[in-house]
Structure 1
Amino acid sequence: MRVIGNFLWFVLGGVFMGLLWWIVGVLAFITLVGIPWGRSCFVMGQFSFFPFGKEAISREELYQQSDIGTGALGGLGNIIWFIFAGIWLAIGHVFAAVLCFMTIIGIPFSIQHLKLAGIALAPIGKTVVTREVAEAVRMQNANASLVHLRNKR
């Protein structure tokens, strides 16, 4: 089902939003100071091409440790990103979602566009993994939190 969903997504417009992400990434790389944002653009652009069966999660959640993108500098980077590019990419995804919602068959595509719009607002510190990996990480983190809470008593 994922293959069919990704194929239909790509053919029916996902290619345009993915290319838009990549264009913003190229522009960010040209500025040199935008290289960290450019890298995120290429990762999220690839995700935008084929989003079904994948999920964007925090690298801190995945690796259980902070890095430069998940800490305070990542937060500052996301604020800068939001002002210069994030809001525009999010608007593009919301516009595409509204168009997809107009048809019954487009509703799953609309949901994907809305997820991508949320990611477009703050992509720094996130990585893309399969849905199974994301679920396993969340389950493992929940179990670790439960053990930690039980040991506090």
Structure 2
Amino acid sequence: MKTILNVIWLVLCGFWMFLGYLLAGVLLCITIIGIPFGLAAFRIGVYALWPFGYTVVERRDAGAPSCVGNVLWLVLAGWWLALGHIATGIVLCVTIIGIPLGIANFKLIPVSLMPLGKEIVPSDQPFATR
């Protein structure tokens, strides 16, 4: 079932959201200071491309630098990407078939706003607990 959802997701919104994350990652990697943010954008972009079967968990070892980085991320790219998820989520929720995809889009908003200090892991692995 998750493969079918991922393929439908890829066609309807996953590819476009991936391109948004890719653009944000490339723009952030232009400066040396922005490279960690660019890498986070690439990591979440791959997750936005194929989200079903994966989950986001908090990293216990993330400290204050992740918090400061998340504030910078929010200002630089996070709110743009979150607006993209909100817009595509609303459009997907218009049809009955798109409702699960719209809900998945809304679940990507927190990680698009604050990606540092989080890890994307497969859902079926034992360490993928919240």
Confirm or deny a common fold (TM above 0.5): yes
Cα distance change on mapping 1:138 and 1:2 into 2, 3 Å: closer
TM-score by length of 2: 0.94
Which residue, out of 74, 77, 86, partners 1:85? 77
Work out the CA distance in 2 between the residues paired with 1:28 and 1:73: 17
* C-alpha displacement of 1:19: 1.0
Q: Deviations over 1:21-44 (max 9, x none)?
A: 011001111122100101110110
TM-score by length of 1: 0.81
Contact 1:43 1:127 in 2 (8 A): no
Using CA pairs below 8 Å that are at least 6 residues apart, which structure has the higher relative contact order?
A: 2
* C-alpha displacement of 1:138: 6.1
Which ranges of 4 or more aligned residues in structure 1 deviate by more than 6 Å? none
Gaps of 5+ in 2: none
Contact 2:55 2:123 in 1 (8 A): yes
2:14 alignment partner in structure 1: 14
1:58 aligns with 2:50: no
Work out the CA distance in 2 between the residues paired with 1:72 and 1:8: 38
For the residue of structure 1 that corresponds to 2:57, the secondary structure is: strand
Of structures 1 and 2, the larger Rg is shown by: 1
Work out the CA distance in 1 between the residues paired with 2:95 and 2:128: 33
Contact 2:122 2:128 in 1 (8 A): no
Which residue, out of 122, 134, 137, partners 2:127? 137
Q: Deviations over 1:90-129 (max 9, x none)?
A: 0110011000111100011111111111111100111111
Query: What's the C-alpha RMSD, in Å, of the aligned pairs?
Result: 1.4
Contact 2:70 2:115 in 1 (8 A): yes
Contact 1:18 1:45 in 2 (8 A): yes
Contact 2:59 2:118 in 1 (8 A): yes
More helix by share: 1
Q: Deviations over 1:36-64 (max 9, x none)?
A: 1011101100000000111111222xxxx
Number of aligned positions between the proteins: 130
Gaps of 5+ in 1: 61-65, 142-153
